[in-house]
Structures are given as structure tokens and as C-alpha cells.
């Protein structure tokens, strides 16, 4: 798991400045906004065939550029604290208390289940599994960000003590 985290960090060139930009609430919320856009882009294969690859590519490019598209921020907002907490987790998973690790594992399972429903819904062009799966993915991600925000606050308290 740590190898995957390191690979993602290297792919997106996540140095200190990149994390601070990634924590910008505009970055966080526009990544969430990309979810329905990606679903629509994939679904559009039913209407425009292989041309659906153009909007899919546009969303993928945006998601790749997103972490560096906004100015850096300090961890004041809920979203920023969550991303700063994710950074703590990415650098030192042992700093996450066992009960939070358990919740994070549950959230990964929920997210994967939601992603499975999204995948099924998009393959079959079934609206309700796609919508329900996307809702589960978003809710799991929001809860994950909230947990990471708590982790950031805990790390800040410990560094101040």
C-alpha cells in the first residue's frame, strides 16, 4: 500500500508546495465536480460513440493538472485541513491511530463498493446503480477527508505540545 502512495505522490510531483496547492478548497471541490463530468463523459458513448474519448480525456487532463492549478493555502478550511491530514497520512501511516485506520479501511471498502456500482451502471448504461454508486463514492470520500482533517488537528496539537 505504501508503494502505491509513493507512486501516486511521485506521479503528481507532490512536494510541499504541491500539497499546499492541492489543499486549496477550489482544488478539492473542483475534483468533486469532476465526478459527474466523468460519468457523463463515459455515458456519452451511447450518444457520440468513440468521440466520448475527447471529454473523458479532458476530465483526465483536468484531474492531472488540478493539484497544481490553484494557489497554495494554509489549513484553515475544512477541505484544506483534510488534505493536510492526508499529507500526514501519506508521509507516516503509523501516525494514524488504530481506530482511525479501521475507519479508513471501511471507507476504502465503501468507496470500492460504490466504484463497483458505478462501473456496472456505466457498462450497462443503468442510471440508478451509477447514481447510487457515485453517491457512495462521494460520501466515503467526504468522510475520509473529515477523518484526515481530524488527523491534521491531532498532529498540530501534538507538535504544539
Q: How many residues does the chain have?
A: 161
Q: Which DSSP string do the residues of 107-139 spell out, in sequence order?
A: HHHHHHHHHHHHHHHHHHT-HHHHHHHHHHHHH
Q: Which domain holds residue 59?
A: 2-160
How far is the C-alpha of 76 from the C-alpha of 39, rounded, in Å?
Answer: 31
Tens digits of per-residue pLDDT, 57-79? 999 999 999 988 999 999 999 99
pLDDT band at 106 (very low <50, low <70, confident <90, very high): very high
Tens digits of per-residue pLDDT, 107-142? 999 999 999 999 999 999 999 999 999 999 999 999
Give the total number of structural domains in the chain: 1
> What's the predicted TM-score (pTM) here?
0.87
Q: Where are the alpha helices (DSSP H) in the chain?
A: 2-11, 16-22, 25-43, 45-48, 53-65, 78-91, 98-124, 127-160
Amino acid at each position: 500500500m505504501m508503494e502505491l502512495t509513493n507512486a501516486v505522490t511521485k506521479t503528481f510531483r507532490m512536494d510541499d508546495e504541491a500539497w499546499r496547492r492541492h489543499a486549496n478548497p477550489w482544488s478539492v471541490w473542483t475534483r468533486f465536480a469532476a465526478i459527474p463530468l466523468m460519468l457523463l463523459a463515459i455515458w456519452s458513448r451511447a450518444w457520440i460513440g468513440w468521440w466520448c474519448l475527447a471529454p473523458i480525456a479532458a476530465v483526465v487532463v483536468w484531474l492531472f493538472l488540478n493539484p497544481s492549478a490553484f494557489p497554495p493555502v494554509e489549513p484553515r478550511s475544512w477541505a484544506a485541513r483534510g488534505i493536510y491530514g492526508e499529507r500526514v497520512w501519506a508521509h507516516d501511516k503509523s501516525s494514524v491511530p488504530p481506530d482511525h485506520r479501521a475507519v479508513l479501511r471501511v471507507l476504502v471498502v465503501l468507496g470500492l463498493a460504490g466504484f463497483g456500482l458505478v462501473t456496472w451502471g456505466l457498462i450497462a448504461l443503468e442510471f440508478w446503480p451509477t447514481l447510487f454508486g457515485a453517491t457512495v463514492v462521494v460520501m466515503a470520500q467526504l468522510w475520509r477527508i473529515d477523518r484526515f482533517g481530524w488527523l491534521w488537528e491531532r498532529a498540530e496539537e501534538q507538535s504544539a505540545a
